[in-house]
Amino acid sequence: MQENTTRNAIHQLMADKPRLRSIEVALELNCSELEVIQALPEQEVNMLPAEQAQRLLTDIADWGNVTCIIEVSGFVFEVKAPLPKGKNAYGYYNLSHDSDGLQGHLKLDNLSAMALLTRKVRGKLSYYVQFFDHKGNSVFKIYLGRDKDGQVIPAQITRFNALATQTTSDDANIVSDETIAIVTN
């Protein structure tokens, strides 16, 4: 019953305040951001196995400039650069140190879900991948890049949509407690 109540509250708040970001909805309703994403209309969400994180990151590394965002306690950090290629070592997926820009060490085992989203953020159509921990908190997001006019790069939209289709068809028969959500409007 609690799940339906939370879901209904999410739907109502999003209808009343459509410009709110998912984190703002979660904070206002005291639920996880993942719950907000999972409450989006059924036609917007496809759940898939979370073990696809490395494959997803490897693919995005070939897309060119993207914007990686980490938001913690109201602090927002952004890096606009290509996502570096990574490799596994010491229990982490390590982003390359061969270039300036984004670097890091990702503990992919700490991910419980990911969502590919196509939705308006602050009134602007955006495409992004959101990664969640086991508590349903957002770990980071990767937004598709934009050109000098502020438009999402068309080639990246094509890759994003192809990835969503490929991931859906390749993994339809895999059952897992950890999932990826593909969300589109």
Strand order from edge to edge, sheet including 104-106: 86-89, 92-95, 104-106
55 Cβ partners below 8 Å, 6+ apart? none
| pLDDT for res 136 | 94
Return the higher-pLDDT residue of 69 and 164: 69
pTM above 0.75, yes or no: yes
Q: Average the pLDDT over each of 15-24, 40-49, 85-94, 107-116 and give the range with the smallest value.
A: 40-49
